Amino acid sequence: MKITSETGDRADKVLARHFPDVGRRRIAELFDEGCVKLDGRRARKGDRVEAGSVLELARAPVSGEALRPAPDLAAAERLAILAERPDVIVVAKPAGMPSQPLRAGELGTAANGIAARFPECAAIGDDARDGGLVHRLDIGTSGALVAARTEAAYRALRDAFSAGAIDKQYLAITDGRPVARECEAPLAQRGRRAAVDHTEGLAAHTTFAVERATAAHALVRCTARTGRMHQVRAHLAYVGAPITGDALYGGAPLAGLDGFFLHAARIVLPLPDGPLVIEAPEPERFARARAACGL
């Protein structure tokens, strides 16, 4: 698809005018994925487009119904139900499974599996890809993942997450022990990573409690008071104990086991009829890693 600009402006604004029903996030994805060229070269969203310049799109942006998670029975079979209520469900997501699809038609995510078992969730969320999810876990993180079955529950839980009213505890296997019991370093997204940034970073707060330790590793219970991208991973690295296997943040690999070892072990949801406490059992992969580390 080719678009000829009639007036000068930023590349992302030109596309936004051409696709008025598509949100800014979908437009930004085109640039992030390298799908936009300006006069034959890869374009960035802030590039200046002169009148008469040509923008080439490898694909049109998608929005609305096309982005909703499609039911995927194979993904559903990989999810264990930890709690099922008329207003909310909690599943145990395995490590290696994305929380939600990133593009139209993608399968294999937790949201796809939830849509197969609870079809009403697929239509719930601020982002069409949410599929009812009120938060997300990294692909490599296992454990408790919460989805709303009603719009009212979605809004209430999203507000509770934003207000820091959700108790979230993680278990992490780390290289060494944290040198602090808590970390309040502000975090900013820098590409694929979260970086400590005391000027532009957003407030983030994590506490640490070492449950077991050897000379080389520790089993650390982490309580995340906020919900920044990669918060626990970045904060553990900042206090000298990167998660084992987390190469993005300096963790050393564990022989015989791929990936890193972070498990969303406990979550407490403030529901209208009282707190709902969910414990997510350690998956077999995490238990094998603990044994390999002497924990």
Q: Select which of 12, 47, 130, 138 is catalytic.
A: 138
CA distance 197 to 28: 23
- Sequential DSSP letters for the chain: -EEE-SS-EEHHHHHHHHSTTS-HHHHHHHHHTT-EEETTEE--TT-EE-TT-EEEESS----GGGGSPPP-HHHHTTPEEEEE-SSEEEEEEPTT--SS-SSTT--SSHHHHHHHH-GGGGG-SSSTT-TTBSS---TT-EEEEEEESSHHHHHHHHHHHHTT-SEEEEEEEEES--SSSEE---EEEETTEEEE-TTTPBP--EEEEEEEE-SSEEEEEEEESS--TTHHHHHHHHTT-PBTT-GGGTPPPBTTB-S--EEEEEEEEEETTEEEEEE-PPPHHHHHHHHHTT-
CA distance 115 to 122: 5
Q: Report the residue count for the chain.
A: 295
CA distance 133 to 148: 6
Say whether 138 is catalytic.
yes
CA distance 213 to 286: 16
Residue located via tokens 């997501």: 93
Residues with a catalytic annotation lie at: 138
